[in-house]
Every structure is written in C-alpha cells, then in structure tokens.
C-alpha cells in the first residue's frame, strides 16, 4: 500500500464507518494519546522499566498503526499530501544532514 492509497483508504473508512472526522484539535489530542501508548510499550519493553503483565501481549505494530491512522486523519482533513510531504522532508534532511551524521564521533 502506498501512502497515497493509505490516505484514500482512511478517508473511505472515515466516511463509511467512522461517520465523519473528529475535529483537528480532537485528532491532535488522540494522536498524542496514541503516541503515549506506543511510548509506554517501548519504554517498558526496550527501556529500563519492567514490563507490566498487562502490556506483555500488546502488539507493537498495532500500536504504531494506531499512531499512523490518526496522523493520516490529520493529514487528510488539513489537505496534506503525505507522499509529497515525506519526499520534501527527505530532501531537506539530505541537504541539511549530508555530512552531519558521518562526522558525528558519537555515531562512529
């Protein structure tokens, strides 16, 4: 699935099953909530905290997909073409970071 196809599929789902988009501020709050849930799993599974029993069966991919879904909702309702945005972002990072990471002694 391309990013363009994902944006279309989310839009179709919202219009048929979700009824309508939540407003942008609500979706931003939901995105923050979903990122927090993902952070909790990663912090406990890969960080120094012990993982709670209730989190051990959480699907990391599903948590990431929740974040992506809400992000796509925000892109759709604000008119952002995520394919173009990501391409432009790669270009910016490539120009800005061309030698930055190679010359970082912390990464060597």
What count of other Cβ atoms lies within 10 Å of the Cβ of residue 7? 18
pLDDT bucket at 89, cuts 50 / 70 / 90: very high
CATH 3.30.70.260 corresponds to the domain 3-81: no
Domain boundaries, the chain: 3-81
CA–CA separation, 14 vs 7, rounded Å?
Answer: 11
Query: Each residue of 6-59: pLDDT tens digit?
Result: 999 999 999 999 999 999 999 999 999 999 999 999 999 999 988 888 888 899
Which of 25, 40, 16 lies closest to 70 in space, CA to CA? 25
Please, what is the average pLDDT of the chain? 95
pLDDT bucket at 105, cuts 50 / 70 / 90: confident
> Is residue 44 exposed (0-12), middle (13-18) or buried (19+ Cβ within 10 Å)?
middle
Element (H, E) at 8: helix 3-16
Full-prediction pTM beyond 0.85? yes
Give the pLDDT score at 97.
87
């Amino acid at each position: 699935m391309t990013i363009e196809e994902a944006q279309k599929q989310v839009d179709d789902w919202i219009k048929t099953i979700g009824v309508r988009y939540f407003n942008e501020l609500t979706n931003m709050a939901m995105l923050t909530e979903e990122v927090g849930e993902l952070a909790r799993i990663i912090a406990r599974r890969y960080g120094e905290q012990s993982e709670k029993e209730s989190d051990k069966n959480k699907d990391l991919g599903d948590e990431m997909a929740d974040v992506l879904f809400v992000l796509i909702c925000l892109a759709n309702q604000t008119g952002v073409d995520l394919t173009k945005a990501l391409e432009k972002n790669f270009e910016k990072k490539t120009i800005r970071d061309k030698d930055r990471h190679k010359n970082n002694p912390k990464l060597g």
